[in-house]
């Protein structure tokens, strides 16, 4: 293929795929289009992804549907499938913990003189661990009250009033704010607040670029929409070491996204590509399709286009 880097798969026959052969250029945004039922998901999730997992010696939990050959011509070293499923359901997962921003914030609080003279470490600034968290609600900030014949009631913890921490911890202030107040900041507010903290600001800027500036650092992950979860996963990917180049597969990443959100998603895509990654997405969204460098149209199940 005239020296161009690509991934080529031949002879895919799973479900309604009729001996499909495809060659995707690397370092580009490739889009797979086709009507519902054309086999986009069967191809992407059940054929190409398992085939690449096997190629890279990676577990993916499924056998995969049949194909003839897979060739990787180029320097990619990993494959990932990014979906819209939530990243964590526990009350301890939020954007700050997911992107490890919270580690930097806790280290910063522990480095303050007031924290040091009280022997407080980064551990004390976690709402998950015994030591700094409110023991009454175990750091949840709320309590479930059994109402016997009525549905359970969720009320703010009477000890910490929803702040999740012990008073001693809340008394430690950085630039006039305690750790609970920092968790309550939006990405936009936190970006301005942490001026001079380059590592932190870099991570927050990446969230900005993905259109997630309005999220609160401590917002429970279970409350994020599918599109928000997915963009947070992409941000996490962008923040990882850039020395390894990956092939990122996505099944209808723009599904359910507002027009402006699709624009932000494209910004993420461009950044991933600029960082050396490659993207293949099954997609209906016209905006994403129009921006693609390469398109593959799957024929409909009934043979029409």
Ligand X SMILES: Nc1ncnc2c1ncn2[C@@H]1O[C@H](COP(=O)(O)OP(=O)(O)O)[C@@H](O)[C@H]1O
Binding residues (CB under 5 A) for Zn ion: these are 134, 136-137, 157, 159-160
Which residue's structure tokens are 């009729």? 18
Smaller CB distance to Zn ion: residue 35 or 138?
A: 138
| Residue 54 to residue 22: CA distance in whole angstroms | 18
Dihedral sign for Cα atoms in the order 97, 103, 104, 106: positive
- DSSP assignment, residue 133? B
Q: How far is the CB of 128 from ligand X (least distance, A)?
A: 38
Footprint on residues 39-58 left by Mg ion (CB under 5 A): 40-41
Q: How far is the CB of 78 from ligand X (least distance, A)?
A: 24
Smaller CB distance to Mg ion: residue 51 or 250?
A: 250
The b/e string for 92-118 (b: 16+ C-beta within 10 A; e otherwise) is bbbbbbbbebbebbbebbbeeeebeee
Q: How far is the CB of 256 from Mg ion (least distance, A)?
A: 13
Query: Nearest CA to 298 among 41, 7, 27?
Result: 41
The option from Zn ion, ligand X, Mg ion, none interacting with 157 (CB < 5 to 8 A, set by class) reads: Zn ion
Footprint on residues 4-63 left by ligand X (CB under 6 A): 15-16, 34, 36-42
Q: How far is the CB of 166 from Zn ion (least distance, A)?
A: 9
The H or E element that residue 79 is part of is strand 78-82
Beta carbons within 10 angstroms of residue 288's beta carbon: 23
The option from ligand X, Mg ion, Zn ion, none interacting with 173 (CB < 5 to 8 A, set by class) reads: none
The b/e string for 150-174 (b: 16+ C-beta within 10 A; e otherwise) is eeeeeeebeebeebbbbeebbebeb
Smaller CB distance to Zn ion: residue 124 or 231?
A: 124
Smaller CB distance to Zn ion: residue 116 or 136?
A: 136
Cβ contact 272:304 at 8 Å: no
Does residue 201 interact with ligand X by CB under 6 A? no
Q: How far is the CB of 79 from ligand X (least distance, A)?
A: 18
The option from ligand X, Zn ion, Mg ion, none interacting with 39 (CB < 5 to 8 A, set by class) reads: ligand X
The option from ligand X, Mg ion, Zn ion, none interacting with 2 (CB < 5 to 8 A, set by class) reads: none
Give the interface with ligand X as residue ranges (CB under 6 A). 15-16, 34, 36-42, 301
């Amino acid at each position: 293929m005239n020296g161009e880097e690509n991934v080529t798969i031949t002879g895919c026959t799973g479900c309604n795929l009729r001996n499909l052969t495809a060659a995707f250029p690397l370092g580009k945004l490739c889009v797979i289009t086709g009507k519902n039922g054309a086999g986009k998901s069967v191809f992407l999730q059940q054929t190409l992804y398992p085939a690449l997992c096997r190629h890279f010696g990676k577990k993916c939990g499924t056998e995969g549907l049949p194909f003839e050959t897979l060739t990787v011509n180029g320097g990619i070293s990993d494959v990932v499938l990014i979906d819209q499923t939530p990243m964590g359901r526990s009350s301890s997962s939020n954007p700050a913990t997911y992107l490890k921003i919270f580690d930097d914030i806790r280290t910063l609080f522990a480095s303050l003189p007031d924290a040091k003279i009280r022997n407080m470490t980064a551990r004390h600034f976690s709402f998950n661990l015994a030591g700094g968290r409110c023991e009454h609600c175990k750091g949840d900030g709320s309590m479930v009250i059994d109402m016997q014949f009525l549905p359970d009631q969720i009320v703010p913890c009477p000890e910490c009033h929803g702040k999740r921490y012990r008073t001693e911890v809340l008394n430690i202030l950085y630039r006039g704010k305690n750790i609970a107040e920092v968790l309550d900041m939006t990405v936009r507010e936190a970006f301005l607040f942490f001026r001079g903290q380059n590592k932190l600001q870099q991570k927050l800027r990446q969230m900005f670029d993905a259109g997630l500036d309005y999220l609160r650092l401590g917002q429970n992950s279970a409350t994020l929409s599918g599109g928000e979860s997915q963009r947070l996963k992409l941000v996490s990917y962008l923040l990882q070491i850039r020395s390894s180049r990956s092939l990122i597969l996505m099944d209808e990443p723009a599904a359910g996204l507002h027009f402006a959100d699709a624009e932000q998603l494209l910004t993420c895509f461009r950044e991933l590509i600029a960082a050396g990654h490659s993207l293949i997405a099954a997609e209906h969204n016209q905006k994403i399709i129009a921006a693609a460098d390469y398109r593959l149209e799957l024929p409909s199940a009934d043979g029409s286009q």
